[in-house]
Structure 1
Amino acid sequence: MSIANSPDDKSSEDARPFPGERADDHASERLSIGDALRQARIAAGLTVDDISHATRVRVAIVRAIEQNDFAPCGGDVYARGHLRTLARAVDLDPAPLLAQYARDHGKVPAPTPAAPLFEAERIRPDRRGPNWTAAMVAAIVVVIGFVGFTAIKGGDGGSAAKSPVAKGPETSAGKPSAPATKPGKPAAPKPEPSDSAIAAAPRDKVTVRVSATSGRSWISAKDHNGHVLFDGLLGQGDSQTFQDKDKIDLVLGDAGAIDLYVNGKKIQDDFQPGQVERLTYTKGDPVTG
């Protein structure tokens, strides 16, 4: 008497693993990628910091992958690389995890529809040789424009040549006026400030004018509060004027190159070239010029 296998026996037989296949392989496939990595890490007695230190994968990325969040990886290529590195760190075979990632997150490129390619081929223009006719027409237009421009410019030049030239001012007798200065004679030097300039200087303030006439000199000027009014190099021919209600403190780096006017009157001190002078002037200075 033969006994047939019952349906229950058949289902139990199908549930058994194939030869050479372990039952824990099916269990690991049922786990998510993050759960598999986390369980393997815990079984190895490692912390997230240990894994991060061993693999140089940041702690935040390790935690995210164990929670099945692959966004911090920065893309599929980096996610696969991190999976391979973390799996080897906890003695897991990375191939099943990579295959599971491909099934869950892989993006198969959609087939390109045939209609757009056909339309593109149909409307693609044929390659043609250079249009020499259009090039010749353009060259002729350029030549004609150049000839016309030259002719117009020549006509304007002729008319300009015939235009009257402006003459200089003439005297009432019709003769040109004599030049203000005769050639070869040097211009008269500028007059130095005279004693009449004292009236122009305010009497309730002290006014100091420094002029570098014989060369350049470093100048420093301060008011009665010690505030710097000027501190720098005065080039030859340059001047600076300082004014304060009480006094002006001066330092002349090269006093021999300086002409000094205080309250509108020139100081006649015999300063030597290269001599450094420290001077102070008030409203009543100078007593004598």
Structure 2
Amino acid sequence: MSIGVTLAAARHAAGMTVAQLSGRTRIRETVIYAIERDDFSLCGGDFYARGHVRNIAKTLGLDPDAIVHQFDEEHGGVPRPVRAAAVFQAENSIKLRERRSPNWSTAMAIALAIVAVFGVARVMSGTGEPVAPDPKAGVPKAPAPSSKPSAAAKVAERGSDLVTLQVKATKPSWLEVSDSKGKQMFRGTLPAGRTSTWKARKEVRVTIGNAGGVDLEVNGKHIGVPGKLGQLVHKSFGPEEPGSR
């Protein structure tokens, strides 16, 4: 059984919510939700992840050494210390170029050559008076109207597959919202009393860490509370029906 599943099961067995566990361990709720899903990317590195895992295991009455040992086996062992000299030692020495004074003689010679070439070109071209445009020259034709649909037509066409999700938090709850292609639109804790809205084409996917603490509305239709307090649920909604998939 993975570390996240073990810690989540121990928390449920202790009758403790994520908010209560966060208050006892001083670890943010978003980090606890991620650890219970075996996602340690929010911990800031393996060193801090080991400390969080040990703290949570000790608070829930588990053997912290056994949990940390399992973490080390799954993530390549205890990180080795790095010498400061190895980090700051430069591979190659830096060489500074000598500052040279400008060669004014060469610059003057180039300038005189440019002036001479310009004068010869003026003499060979005649008087240098501008040539009047030929009145018989053809007038450029106006471009033909484009047959492509306008931007307004494209917006109207896309509006039919737009999905609007509104989440109102009655209690603090961790959320992760993404579109049909998996692009993340939000990830974090929605505090109690806050209402947020997300829009995407074709589908909106949401993972809720505290299902009993939120109220959902999809495409203007009230869905209600998707689960119980402390329950982790996954939902997805499309434009054709407000019900979850």
What TM-score bracket applies, with the shorter chain setting the length?
0.3 to 0.5
Point out the structure with the larger strand share.
Answer: 2
Larger RCO of the pair (alpha carbons < 8 Å, separation 6+): 2
For normalisation by structure 2, the TM-score amounts to 0.33
More helix by share: 1
